[in-house]
């Protein structure tokens, strides 16, 4: 009995394995030579087929001869096979879109020039598909007669924070269908149409922009207000926190005069000449996305807190020999007290904040020669709110220092007087009361 | 009962008490602006601008009240032959020392005082000078630019000094009122539960005998000439 069972086992095994072995044999036959790195056609064309890449491709199920139809075992390699033409592809893949038809009719490029050959992937997974055309200098005609370049700098794209993304992640209208032809009135309309794409990942930032002055102006029909790509760039997009100077210059495109004033300020100068990364840039005060109208009370009333972000930071101010008392001394003074209430009330009336004395974008240093300049300018600045202020008036603000005998003797003496006088009086009077009560009790 | 105060003096006292209370509330809310109750008060009074307007109006009322009081007093003394009973004299100091000795049991009887004893004079002049200081510093803070127009020689720091003076003087005034004045008018065993003179204008003969014996003697002499 044993040999009958063994015999059947062998027959069944052969029946199952042989067809597979024959199929595998054909590929193996090709790869016997083509898996070799040293296989070249002449000096320029390497004939290597990477088995792993092929097996991960969508065409892994196909046999080599499905595409390389003219290869016949007996005559190969003596007889060279015919080159792969687009027609081989179109036998299976119908060409429907105008763009493809035009491109194929024009000749020159074949399907594999864009889509690749052995490593072919679904279009949505393949960067090279798009770059097949868009890596070259090419322009798109717009309705206004102008041209917009649709070339993509592949190198810059690879160096960007979006290097891991595929084209269709942003250009999502192009993934599943044939490449649509689009019409735009002008270049700005093209950008405006594309701008929705960023919110698909950066929804938090997008929702912040909804409150911004830029978005609101855009809503009202101003198409010049910046969109994501105007500040961040498109394909060569970099991290927003990379380098402060780069970030500040983004605003310069539209706000050139303000940027110029900023570069003369104590902050801007340190940024431009020393690349100081501690100084505030545009977005530190105005924020990057929630940019509010700086002429509104809501923004103004927040200024001391804003400056305090750095100027009340003990560690940071120590580095520059500055005092952190600037914020507290302001908040304790008449203007600061008023401001704290205005903030609660969301009042529209203005009260002097840091920028009213120190300047807005052209903030000067407060030491050395600048101190004199600042002081000289102070009267005009006071007069903005106190039109009849005279020469001595600015001194009524005894600066950001605790009053002492040198700087403000009168104020200092008044404080010291009451510091002793109030306890002296009250303790004295309470003692009198107790003595009076005591005597009354004793007499009874 | 003996008539001690003219009806107008009673009105004067209660108007002043009302405005003083209002000034204290609106002033404290500014001094302790970081406190929750201060913010609540400011909101309840319609915001800081409105509250300051109220505070300044109260200041004007107090200033006018003080001015008319001094004017009436001076005119009364000069033209109506009122006795300048509020004037501080040497006896006030000796009375004070005498009473201190009395409290410690060194003398058997307290000082014999006239119409106003030294404690009352102390409080009166405290209110007058404190009031003048509050009015002056308040006006300086209200019209800071005017100060330098009228007196260009003044240093800028007078504004800052006026601010600390206004704030500290008000604290002193408040503390004196809530301790000393309330004790003497309400809790002192001699008047407890309440000194009603400020409501009725009258005082008992018995209290006069204890507290103002010299005035009582004069009143009961046929030649007593004036009373106010």
Size of interface A-B (CB pairs under 8 A): 121
Count CB neighbours of A6 within 10 A: 10
Which of A332, A391, A396 is the best residue to mutate to test the B interface, defined by the most B CB atoms within 10 Å of its own CB?
A396
- Which residue among B104, B165, B189 places its CB closest to the CB of A414? B165
Whether the CB of B102 is below 8 Å from some CB of chain A: the reply is yes
- From CA A165, how far away is CA A171, in angstroms rounded? 11
Short-list B170, B198, B169, CA closest to B182: B198
- Which residue among B39, B158, B180 places its CB closest to the CB of A344? B39
Is B189–A418 a contact, with Cβ atoms under 8 angstroms apart? no
Task: Please report the DSSP string for B7-66 in residue order.
Answer: HHHHHHHHHHHHHHHHHHHHHHHHHTTTSHHHHHHHHHTTSHHHHHHHHHHHHHHHHHHH
Chain B positions in Cβ-Cβ contact with residue A415 (cut-off 8 Å): 164, 168
Short-list B201, B221, B203, CA closest to B211: B203
Short-list B49, B52, B102, B154, CA closest to A348: B49
First to last CA, chain B: 15
- From CA B118, how far away is CA B111, in angstroms rounded? 10
Chain A positions in Cβ-Cβ contact with residue B43 (cut-off 8 Å): 344-345
Which of B43, B48, B167, B177 is the best residue to mutate to test the A interface, defined by the most A CB atoms within 10 Å of its own CB?
B48
Which of B161, B170, B173 is the best residue to mutate to test the A interface, defined by the most A CB atoms within 10 Å of its own CB?
B161
Q: Which residue of A has its CA nearest to B42?
A: A341
- From CA B208, how far away is CA B147, in angstroms rounded? 48
**ipTM more than 0.90?**
yes
Is B33–A341 a contact, with Cβ atoms under 8 angstroms apart? yes
Is B152–A347 a contact, with Cβ atoms under 8 angstroms apart? no
Chain B positions in Cβ-Cβ contact with residue A344 (cut-off 8 Å): 39, 42-43
Cross-strand partners of A140: A148
Chain B positions in Cβ-Cβ contact with residue A395 (cut-off 8 Å): 155-157
Chain B positions in Cβ-Cβ contact with residue A328 (cut-off 8 Å): none
Q: What's the Cα-to-Cα distance from B96 to each of A416, A421, B216, rounded to whole Å?
A: 28, 20, 20
Is A425–B176 a contact, with Cβ atoms under 8 angstroms apart? yes
- Which residue among A337, A347, A436 places its CB closest to the CB of B30? A337
**A388-437 residue pLDDT tens:** 999 899 989 988 888 999 989 999 999 999 999 999 999 999 999 999 99
- Which residue among B30, B102, B145 places its CB closest to the CB of A389? B145
- pLDDT (tens digit, 0 to 9) for every residue of chain A, 444 residues total? 567 777 776 766 566 555 555 555 566 678 778 877 777 777 777 788 888 888 888 888 788 888 888 777 677 777 777 778 888 888 888 776 677 777 777 777 777 777 778 878 776 566 667 887 788 888 888 888 888 888 888 888 888 888 888 888 888 777 655 677 788 888 888 888 888 889 989 999 999 999 899 999 999 989 889 988 888 888 888 777 768 888 888 899 899 999 999 999 999 999 999 999 999 999 999 998 999 999 888 899 999 999 999 999 999 999 999 989 999 999 999 999 999 999 888 877 889 999 998 989 999 888 878 888 888 888 999 999 999 999 899 989 988 888 999 989 999 999 999 999 999 999 999 999 999 999 999 988
Q: Which residue of B has its CA nearest to A338?
A: B48
Short-list A101, A69, A91, CA closest to A82: A69
Token code pair at residue A140: 């798109």
Chain A positions in Cβ-Cβ contact with residue B175 (cut-off 8 Å): 422, 425-426
- From CA A222, how far away is CA A420, in angstroms rounded? 64
Short-list B125, B120, B127, B124, CA closest to B23: B127
Is B145–A388 a contact, with Cβ atoms under 8 angstroms apart? yes
- Residue extents of the structural domains in chain A: 122-238, 408-444
Domains (ranges, CATH) in chain B? 2-220 (1.20.950.20)
């Amino acid at each position: 009995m044993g040999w009958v069972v063994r015999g059947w086992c062998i027959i069944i095994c052969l029946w199952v394995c042989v067809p597979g072995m024959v199929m595998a044999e054909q590929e193996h036959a090709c790869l016997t030579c083509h898996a070799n790195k040293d296989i070249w056609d002449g000096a320029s064309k390497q004939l290597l087929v990477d088995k792993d890449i092929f097996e991960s491709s969508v065409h892994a199920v196909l046999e080599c001869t499905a595409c390389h139809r003219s290869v016949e075992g007996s005559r190969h390699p003596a007889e060279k096979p015919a080159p792969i033409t687009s027609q081989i592809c179109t036998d299976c893949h119908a060409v429907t879109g105008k763009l493809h038809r035009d491109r194929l009719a024009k000749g020159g490029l074949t399907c594999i020039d864009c889509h690749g050959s052995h490593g072919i992937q679904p279009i949505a997974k393949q960067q090279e598909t798009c770059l097949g055309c868009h890596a070259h200098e090419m322009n798109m005609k717009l309705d206004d007669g102008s041209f917009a370049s649709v070339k993509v700098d592949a190198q810059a794209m690879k160096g960007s924070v979006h290097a891991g993304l595929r084209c269709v992640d942003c250009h999502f209208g192009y993934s599943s269908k044939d490449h649509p032809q689009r019409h735009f009135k002008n270049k700005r309309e093209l950008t405006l149409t594309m701008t929705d794409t960023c919110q698909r990942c950066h929804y938090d930032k997008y929702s912040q922009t909804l409150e911004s002055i830029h978005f609101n102006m855009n809503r009202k029909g101003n198409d010049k207000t910046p969109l994501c790509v105007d500040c961040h760039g498109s394909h060569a997009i970099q991290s927003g926190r990379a380098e402060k100077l780069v970030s500040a210059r983004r605003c310069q495109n539209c706000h050139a005069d303000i940027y110029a004033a900023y570069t003369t300020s104590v902050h801007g100068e340190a940024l431009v000449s020393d690349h100081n990364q501690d100084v505030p840039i545009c977005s530190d005060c105005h924020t990057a996305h929630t940019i509010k109208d700086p002429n509104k009370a809501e923004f103004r009333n927040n200024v001391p807190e804003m400056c305090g972000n750095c100027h009340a930071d003990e560690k940071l101010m120590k580095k520059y020999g500055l005092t952190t008392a600037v914020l507290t001394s302001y908040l304790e003074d008449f203007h600061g007290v008023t401001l704290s209430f205005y903030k609660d009330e969301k009042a529209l009336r203005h009260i002097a904040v840091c920028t009213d004395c120190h300047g807005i974008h052209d903030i000067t240093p407060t030491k050395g020669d600048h101190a004199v300049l600042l002081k000289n300018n102070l009267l005009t600045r006071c007069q903005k709110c106190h039109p009849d202020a005279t020469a001595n008036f600015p001194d009524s603000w005894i600066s950001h220092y605790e009053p002492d005998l040198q700087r403000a003797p009168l104020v200092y003496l008044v404080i010291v007087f009451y510091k002793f006088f109030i306890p002296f009086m009250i303790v004295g009077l309470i003692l009198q009361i107790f003595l009076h009560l005591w005597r009354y009790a004793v007499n009874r | 009962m003996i008539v001690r105060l003219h009806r107008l003096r009673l009105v004067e006292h209660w108007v002043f008490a009302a405005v003083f209370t209002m000034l204290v509330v609106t002033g404290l809310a500014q001094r302790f602006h970081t406190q929750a109750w201060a913010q609540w008060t400011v909101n309840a009074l319609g915001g800081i601008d409105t509250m300051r307007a109220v505070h300044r109006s109260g200041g004007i009322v107090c200033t006018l009240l003080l001015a008319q009081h001094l004017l009436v007093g001076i005119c009364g003394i000069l033209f109506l032959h009122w006795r300048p009973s509020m004037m501080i004299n040497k006896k006030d100091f000796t009375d004070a020392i005498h009473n201190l000795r009395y409290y410690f049991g060194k003398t058997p009887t307290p000082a014999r005082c006239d119409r106003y004893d030294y404690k009352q004079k102390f409080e009166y002049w405290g209110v007058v000078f404190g009031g003048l200081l509050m009015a002056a510093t308040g006006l300086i803070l209200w019209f800071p630019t005017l100060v330098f127009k009228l007196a260009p020689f003044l240093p800028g720091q007078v504004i800052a000094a006026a601010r600390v003076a206004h704030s500290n003087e008000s604290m002193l005034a408040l503390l004196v009122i809530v301790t000393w004045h309330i004790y003497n008018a309400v809790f002192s065993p001699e008047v407890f539960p309440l000194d009603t003179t400020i409501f009725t204008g009258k005082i008992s003969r018995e209290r006069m005998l204890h507290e103002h014996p010299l005035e009582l003697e004069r009143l009961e002499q046929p030649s007593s000439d004036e009373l106010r």
